[in-house]
Copies of this chain bind each other. A is one copy, B any other.
Amino acid sequence: MEIKQNIKIAIDAIVFGYQQNQLFVLLIKQKYGDLKNQWALPGGFVQDGEPLKKAVVRELKEETGVKVTTMEQLYTFGDDLKRDPRFRVISVAYFGTVNPKELKLNAGTDAKEAKWFPLNTLPKLAFDHKKIIQKAFDRLKAKLNYQPIGFELLDSKFPFSDLENLYTTILQKPIDRRNFRKKILSFDFIAETDEYRKIGSGRPGKLYEFKSRKYNELLKQGISFEIKFA
């Protein structure tokens, strides 16, 4: 059975990082072709014998030096027939988050053409990548509304205010801090440590850490979560 089909399949990777109340996204500069020197998401064509999820990890590492273990599938872009000016390409987009130390790119790799951009000051982007990033951000925001996520965006030990600020940054509105703190702590996947860190001019704040095992257990059972806004 011969299927005639002239469509190529690619993956794109949206990686978010967070630092000092700002969300960042990882971009690369196009090296070849009509779109040379334009910024775009890391990504590329899927190899014949390659599972989609492996293609994402490979492309990210090759193009940016950033190593991730898993990325979550976001959406497959295949309605706009001209999203790639060369020929029809359907792209399966994956998104993920990395911790702050990944925000320093390793200059020894191909990464010299890769750069973190603050989400609110992105350069002109190739293809439909602006739309793809918007969709990834919307998903991140939507998930935050019903599922506690984003811990991997923080340092391994963090003052509680960092988590609050992360939520406020992504949700783009002030949250009810007392209610948020009570809810988050009630799940028991964040534990107090014995360490303190001085923040600004205030007194040192206690550091917390994230318990991923406990979190994953809860996730399996299904966490129901509702954020109240201030």
Residues of A within 8 A of B (CB): 1, 3, 5-9, 33, 45-49, 51-54, 73, 75-76, 78-81, 86, 88, 90, 92, 142, 145-146, 222, 224-227
Given contacts A7-B9, A73-B76, contact A90 B224 (CB under 8 A): no
Q: What B residues does A75 contact at CB under 8 A?
A: 73
Query: Chain B CB within 10 Å — which of A46, A78, A90, A227 has the most?
Result: A78
Nearest CB of B to A125, in Å: 20
Beyond the given A5-B45, A9-B90, A90-B92, please list 17 additional residue pairs across the A-B interface where CB-CB is below 8 A: A1-B33, A7-B9, A7-B46, A9-B9, A9-B78, A46-B78, A49-B81, A51-B79, A51-B81, A52-B79, A73-B76, A76-B76, A78-B92, A142-B222, A145-B224, A146-B224, A225-B226
Determine how many copies of this chain the complex contains.
Answer: 2
Nearest CB of B to A171, in Å: 10
